A and B are shown apart, each in its own frame.
Chain A
Amino acid sequence: MSLDVLTFLFVGGSFALYIAIAIWARAGSTKEFYVAGGGVPPIANGMATAADWMSAASFISLAGLVSFIGRDGSAYLMGWTGGYVLLALLLAPYLRKFGKFTVPDFIGDRYYSTTARTIAVVCTIVISFTYVAGQMRGVGIVFSRYLHVDINTGVIIGMAIVFFYAVLGGMKGITYTQVAQYVVLILAFTVPAFFLSSQVTGHILPQLGLGATLDSGMSVLATLDKLSMELGFAQYTAGTKSTLDIFCLTVALMCGTAGLPHVIVRFFTVPRVKDARISAGYALVFIALLYTAVPGVAGFGRVNLIQTLNGADNTGTAYTEMPSWFKNWEETGLLGWQDRNGDGKVQYAAGKAFDGKGKPNFIEGRGVNGERLTDNALTDPSFDAAKQPFANEVYVDRDIMVLANPDIAQLPNWVIALVAAGAVAAALSTAAGLLLVISTAVSHDMMKKTINPNLTDKQELMYARLAAIVAIIIAGYFGINPPGFVAQVVALAFGLACASVFPAIIMGIFWKRHNSAGAISGMLIGLVSTMAYMYYFAFAGGTPAEYFMGISPGGFGTVGAILHIVVGVVVSLATAEPPQEIQDIVEDLRIPRGAGSAHAH
């Protein structure tokens, strides 16, 4: 069967499955809509959490990122898994015992303050929207590459599917579709990883394959180091960032992960405190299945990419002989080539091939070899001959690595179709979880708890669905018109979660003395300092030379969190201790028994 037919079958078949599950799991009450009635079995919750968490960023972007930055990629691998240890040990059991629906619920009640609740609502909405925009872009990329529709149509199809099961089913529908999506995405990631690993190294497991020795007698990593150095890149197994910067980035990603509202809310859906701990354990097992395969996929992909582009003799491959994937990705605009030395061959090395940010700016028309023309090609063929054999002529977007890997390795068509279905599953499952958090923040935390406490359950449910519809439309808009600063915005989501949400929850559980004045001032200082720092370096012309102690904006959430804690403690100690009933609540949430009755599913 042709690739198009197979892709259509895999993606279409998975959509039919998600819709069937959504119809089966319609929500009838707010409790079902917000937390699936609180009766999800831990293993199902673990899978749902894994699918909720592993977004287009984990599925599509992470391996590409590690592939291009080597050892510094460890910060992301550890940050996005180590956060679950914090979740399991410090947050999930206590928040489950607390037994409400949302993060602002906890912060508002624990700090007996509408102001605190409102700050938490703002953080929740900002974090979730920035995240969801990236998911819609992921769906668009897959549709445009594999189903030959344009990106906008792809985004609209994705919106329609999410609309169907998020609005109808609420958390209950989302949970069980996420279980199905987890199965699709983990197969889609690991099957090509097994193929790649056995093809390159003879080991089926990429976790072992990355340490294997190749026919040349060198290990995979040593080969990568050698290839990278020859082409002028940094050594693959060496870091380029300062130790402090990597340290702060890892902390920000870990604490940010543990403070993301759409992840935390998953632990409200299980019946008992014990189940909250167990489902965190399952979640990390399911996540680790993908994350431990990532470094292998990244490494093998890099070797394959360099060898395909530069050819066996390492002098370049003629454009006219390039495999079809190269030209297919060129059509999507995520890959570009210009013949700087006029030999008709593609050559890949360190350095920019295009002016400005290094990305090709395509214009109408074709060059002599049939390549797409750009108006920002660098014409100066000069390069440092001492460092690398030739000047770089190629732009490769990091985001195409996972999707292009099976093409580059010439795997069977059904594997490529599976990868397409998996990427869509990863993006949709995360988008649905985020949309639910946004709609809950609006209907529950704003409408019910802040504006009109007399709402009936039915009215609240209606507001939740309305908010979900509005959120889907806004998310779709960002998918079609992606802001040019997606990377900074995602860093902002983690920074905010790390500097404002995470410390407020931890101190609320572990420090009985913490009061509303301390929490509010802490959250505000964390929020404002992190946003200001990121804004300054993303939009106000800040340069890396001005970084505070060399800490890049992605790691500044760590500094924000420290400020939060210091200011919070000082203000708290200078003001009256919290009322007795609040201290009793804290005592109570430390004891597991009595977490509230659950729904049977």
Chain B
Amino acid sequence: MSISNEQAQAYWRENLRIIVTHLVIWFAVSYGCAILFVDQLNEIPFFGFPLGFWFGQQGSIFVFVILIWTYVYSMNKLDEKYDVHE
């Protein structure tokens, strides 16, 4: 391993922070908007959809795609910051 132990720990902590941030959004759009609060959100019309229904069948999937790409972007930057990229 080319980096010091402390640096490895710091890298891992930042990595975990990125993961947690993304998982919070992941949980909010799918379990939050489309399951737990679906009935409340369904009262709101959204381009011809009840909003909760839209999150369940369309919106959450779009958000999932965006989440993976922002994760890829953040991790690539992090890898370079700690010089652990290949």
Interface of chain B: mostly helix, strand, loop or mixed: helix
List 17 additional contacts besides A85-B68, A247-B35; criterion CB under 8 Å: A77-B57, A78-B61, A82-B60, A84-B68, A85-B26, A89-B22, A207-B58, A210-B48, A211-B47, A274-B76, A274-B85, A278-B72, A285-B65, A292-B61, A292-B62, A295-B57, A591-B11
Cα distance A209–B31 when bound, in Å? 25
Among B23, B47, B61, B86, max chain A CB count under 10 A is at B61
Assess the A291–B61 pair: CB atoms within 8 A. Answer: yes
Which residues on B are within 8 Å of A, measured CB to CB? Answer: 1-3, 8, 11-12, 15, 19, 22-23, 26, 30-31, 34-36, 38, 42, 46-50, 53-54, 56-58, 60-62, 64-65, 67-69, 71-72, 75-76, 79, 84-86
| CB neighbours of A237 from chain B (8 A) | 42, 50, 53
Assess the A211–B48 pair: CB atoms within 8 A. Answer: yes
Which residues on A are within 8 Å of B, measured CB to CB? Answer: 66, 71, 73-74, 77-78, 81-82, 84-85, 88-90, 93, 207-208, 210-213, 219-221, 237, 239, 243, 246-247, 250, 272-274, 277-278, 280-281, 284-285, 288, 291-292, 294-295, 587-588, 590-595
Assess the A78–B30 pair: CB atoms within 8 A. Answer: yes
Number of inter-chain CB pairs below 8 Å:
133
| CB neighbours of B54 from chain A (8 A) | 211
Closest A residue to B2 by beta carbon equals A593
**Do A592 and B61 form a contact, CB below 8 Å, given A77-B56, A281-B68?**
no
CB proximity of B23 to chain A, nearest CB, Å: 7
CB proximity of A597 to chain B, nearest CB, Å: 11
Closest A residue to B69 by beta carbon equals A281
Which 3 residue pairs of A and B lie closest in terms of their CB atoms, listed nearest first? A211-B48, A74-B56, A295-B57
Assess the B48–A219 pair: CB atoms within 8 A. Answer: yes
| CB neighbours of A278 from chain B (8 A) | 72
**Do A85 and B34 form a contact, CB below 8 Å, given A295-B57, A590-B8, A591-B11?**
no
CB proximity of A512 to chain B, nearest CB, Å: 10
Assess the A212–B68 pair: CB atoms within 8 A. Answer: no
Among A85, A211, A250, max chain B CB count under 10 A is at A85
**Do A221 and B53 form a contact, CB below 8 Å, given A246-B35, A250-B35?**
yes
Closest B residue to A225 by beta carbon equals B50
CB proximity of A488 to chain B, nearest CB, Å: 23
**Do A89 and B53 form a contact, CB below 8 Å, given A221-B48, A291-B61, A591-B8?**
no
Closest B residue to A201 by beta carbon equals B48
**Do A82 and B65 form a contact, CB below 8 Å, given A211-B48, A590-B12?**
no
Between A and B, 22 residue pairs with Cβ closer than 8 Å are A74-B57, A78-B60, A81-B64, A85-B23, A85-B26, A88-B71, A88-B72, A90-B19, A211-B49, A237-B53, A247-B31, A274-B86, A277-B75, A281-B71, A284-B65, A295-B58, A588-B1, A591-B3, A591-B11, A592-B86, A593-B2, A593-B85
Cα distance A207–B35 when bound, in Å? 20
Cα distance A14–B11 when bound, in Å? 47
Assess the B72–A85 pair: CB atoms within 8 A. Answer: no
CB proximity of B4 to chain A, nearest CB, Å: 11
Assess the A84–B64 pair: CB atoms within 8 A. Answer: yes
| CB neighbours of B57 from chain A (8 A) | 66, 71, 73-74, 77, 210, 294-295
Assess the B23–A89 pair: CB atoms within 8 A. Answer: yes
Among B31, B38, B65, max chain A CB count under 10 A is at B65
| CB neighbours of A590 from chain B (8 A) | 8, 11-12, 15
CB proximity of A381 to chain B, nearest CB, Å: 35
Cα distance A213–B23 when bound, in Å? 35
CB proximity of A147 to chain B, nearest CB, Å: 33
Assess the B8–A243 pair: CB atoms within 8 A. Answer: no
Assess the B36–A243 pair: CB atoms within 8 A. Answer: yes
Cα distance A305–B46 when bound, in Å? 26
CB proximity of A108 to chain B, nearest CB, Å: 24
Cα distance A88–B23 when bound, in Å? 11
| CB neighbours of B46 from chain A (8 A) | 211
| CB neighbours of B48 from chain A (8 A) | 210-213, 219-221
Assess the B36–A247 pair: CB atoms within 8 A. Answer: yes
Closest B residue to A212 by beta carbon equals B48
CB proximity of A259 to chain B, nearest CB, Å: 16
Instruction: Give the residue of A89, A247, A587 whose beta carbon is less than 8 angstroms from that of B71.
Output: A89
CB proximity of B37 to chain A, nearest CB, Å: 10
